[in-house]
């Protein structure tokens, strides 16, 4: 790939090699971040594959570091790649929007329109009557896919902008009513790589 003369040149030692180490470290840390996130979301079938690629890339990067202990730029590139890998992994996970979340909506106002809007948008809900510090309240519980959180928040903003709500991650659910995806099986990939009109 590179000629022996170029490998011995200052350009390779101080620019090309650190850049390659940076890219390798960024890639393996990105995969490590995604692997941990997938594991926490119980998406286990892809974790061993990511682990294999991650370790392979790490071995290539660390072997070059050990061969070039005299080059401080390689150390800086390795550290920068680590930081960038975390950032990229988190951004990809945000685009994938994996998992389920439970929303607790509490409002003092009449909530019939809000409840009807959530049902009309195919979100499953459970309502409870409660009593807050300022009087009676209605508690609305709904379990939604993370990619649908923005839509639910928009509905709340439209019908009850002053409503209090909280959001928490959940690992698993047994049955339930969920909004069906309109994008099919490539839904997750389209949120990372917006080809074919995916969002």
How many domains does one find in the chain? 2
Q: Which one is predicted more confidently, 173 or 100?
A: 100
Q: Is there a single domain that holds both residue 11 and residue 38?
A: yes
Q: Which of 73, 96, 119 is a domain's end point?
A: 96
Examine the domain organization and report whether 64 and 90 are in the same domain: yes
Long-range contacts for 69-73 (Cβ within 8 Å, ≥24 apart)? 71/13, 71/14, 71/17, 71/18, 73/14, 73/18
> Which residues are 107's β-sheet partners?
138
Mean pLDDT across the stretch 144-148? 87
Question: Is residue 1 domain-resident?
Answer: no
Given a cut of 70, is residue 1 above it in pLDDT? no
Kindly state whether residues 39 and 120 are assigned to the same domain: no
Q: How many whole angstroms separate alpha carbon 199 and alpha carbon 193? A: 9
- 3-state class (DSSP) for residue 121: coil
Say what the pLDDT of residue 5 is.
76
Name the more confident of 17 and 173: 17
pLDDT of residue 188: 47
Nearest to 60 by CA among 10, 26, 25: 25
**Domain end: 71, 96, 121, which one?**
96
User: What is residue 173's predicted lDDT score, i.e. its pLDDT?
Assistant: 63
Kindly state the greatest CA–CA separation across the chain: 80
Residue 192, in any domain of the structure = no
Residues 14-67: tens digit of each pLDDT: 899 999 999 999 999 999 988 988 887 777 788 899 999 999 999 989 998 888
Q: Per-residue confidence at 185, pLDDT binned at 50, 70, 90?
A: very low
Q: Which tens digits make up the pLDDT trace of 127-141?
A: 999 888 888 899 999
Quote the CA–CA distance of 177 and 125 in Å, as a whole number. 8
Phi, psi of 24 (to 5 degrees): -65, -45
Sheet holding 100-107, edge to edge: 126-132, 135-145, 100-107, 164-170
Domain assignment present for 106: yes
Q: Are residues 43 and 108 in the same domain?
A: no
Among 135, 151, 42, CA closest to 103:
151
> Comparing C-alpha atoms, which of 12, 34, 26 is closest to residue 60?
26
Residue 177 placed within a domain: no
Task: Say whether both 53 and 92 belong to one domain.
Answer: yes
Cut 0.95: pTM above it: no
H-state helical runs in the chain: 4-7, 10-11, 17-40, 47-67, 72-96, 112-120, 149-159, 187-192
Distance in angstroms (rounded) separating the CA atoms of residues 79 and 74: 9
Q: Are residues 89 and 133 in the same domain?
A: no
**Surface-to-core class of residue 44, CB atoms within 10 Å of its CB (0-12 exposed, 13-18 middle, 19+ buried):** exposed
Tell me, what CATH number does 156's domain have?
Answer: 3.30.70.120
Domain containing 143 equals 100-171
Are residues 60 and 79 part of one domain? yes
Residue 198 reports pLDDT greater than 50: no
């Amino acid at each position: 790939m590179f000629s022996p003369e170029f490998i011995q040149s200052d350009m390779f030692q101080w620019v090309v090699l650190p850049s390659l180490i940076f890219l390798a470290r960024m890639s393996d840390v990105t995969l490590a971040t995604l692997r941990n996130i997938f594991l926490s979301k119980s998406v286990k079938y892809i974790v061993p594959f990511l682990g294999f690629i991650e370790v392979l890339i790490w071995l290539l990067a660390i072997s070059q570091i050990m061969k070039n202990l005299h080059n401080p730029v390689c150390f800086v590139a390795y550290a920068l790649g680590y930081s960038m890998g975390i950032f990229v992994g988190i951004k990809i996970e945000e685009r994938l929007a994996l998992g389920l979340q439970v929303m607790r909506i509490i409002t003092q106002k009449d909530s019939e329109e809000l409840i009807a809007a959530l049902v009309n948008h195919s979100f499953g809900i459970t309502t409870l009557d409660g009593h807050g510090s300022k009087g009676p309240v209605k508690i609305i519980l709904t379990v939604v896919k993370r990619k649908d959180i923005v839509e639910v928040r928009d509905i709340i903003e439209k019908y009850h902008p002053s409503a209090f709500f909280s959001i928490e991650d959940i690992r698993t659910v047994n049955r339930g009513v969920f909004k069906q995806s309109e994008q099919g099986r490539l839904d997750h990939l389209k949120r990372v790589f917006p080809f074919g009109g995916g969002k």
